[in-house]
Amino acid sequence: MVQASPLFARPTTTLSAWYAVSIFVVMFGFSFIDRLILSLLAPSIHEHLHISDTQLGILFGMGFGVVYALMGLPLAHLLDKHRRVPLVAAGVALWSLCTVASGFAPNFLSLIFLRSGVAIGEAVLSPAVISIIADLFPRDKRVLPTTIYTAVGAVMYTGALVFGGLMFQLATGMSASLGLEAWQITFVLVGLPGLLLAPLLLLTVPEPVRVGDIKAEEFATVSQAWAYFRGERRLYGGLFLGAAAISICNSAKIAWVPTLLIRSHGMHPSQAGYMFGTVGLLSGFIGAITWPSVVRFWTARGRKDALITVFAIALTISWICFGLVGFMRSLTFLFVAIGIGGFFSAALAVLVPILIQMVTPGRMRGRAMALYLTATGLVGLGLGPPLAALISDQFFKGQFAIGYGLAALIFVTGPFASLAIWSIRGPYRTALDKAEVLEEL
pLDDT digits (tens, 9 = 90+) for 263-311: 788 876 556 766 777 787 788 889 888 998 899 899 888 888 899 999 9
Q: Average pLDDT in the 335-350 region?
A: 90
Mean pLDDT, the chain, as a whole number?
A: 84
| Span of 134-138, 155-159, 344-348, 379-383 with lowest mean pLDDT | 155-159
Q: What are phi and psi of 104, to 5 degrees?
A: -120, 15
Q: What percent of the chain has pLDDT over 70?
A: 87
Check residue 164 and give its pLDDT: 76
Residue 220 is predicted with a pLDDT of 55
Cβ of 275: how many Cβ atoms within 10 Å? 17
Closest by CA position to 134, among listed 377, 424, 314, 368: 368
Q: Is 91 exposed, middle or buried (0-12, 13-18, 19+ CB in 10 A)?
A: buried
Q: What is the dihedral of CA 207, 239, 138, 200, to 10 degrees?
A: 30
pLDDT in tens, 312-333: 999 999 999 999 999 998 999 9
Which pLDDT value is given to residue 221? 67
- Fold of the CATH domain 222-440: Growth Hormone; Chain: A; (1.20.1250)
Quote the CA–CA distance of 342 and 373 in Å, as a whole number. 19
DSSP annotation of 55? H
Average pLDDT over residues 224-240: 88
Residue 41: its pLDDT value, please? 75
Over 80: is that where the pLDDT of 212 sits? no
pTM above threshold 0.75: no
Pinpoint the residues of the chain covered by CATH 1.20.1250.20. Answer: 10-204, 222-440
- Within 10 angstroms of residue 110's Cβ, the number of other Cβ atoms is 14
pLDDT of residue 142: 79
Task: List C-alpha distances in Å: 358 to 126, 193, 230, 351.
Answer: 16, 33, 18, 10
Residues written for the chain: 441
Would you place residue 441 in the very low, low, confident or very high pLDDT band (cuts 50, 70, 90)? low
What type of residue sits at position 432? L
Q: Which helix (H) or strand (E) holds 404?
A: helix 401-422
**What fold, for 10-204?**
Growth Hormone; Chain: A; (1.20.1250)
Tell me the pLDDT tens digit for each residue of 366-415: 788 878 878 887 787 777 877 888 888 889 888 888 889 999 999 999 99
Q: Which pLDDT score, from 0 to 100, does residue 316 have?
A: 97
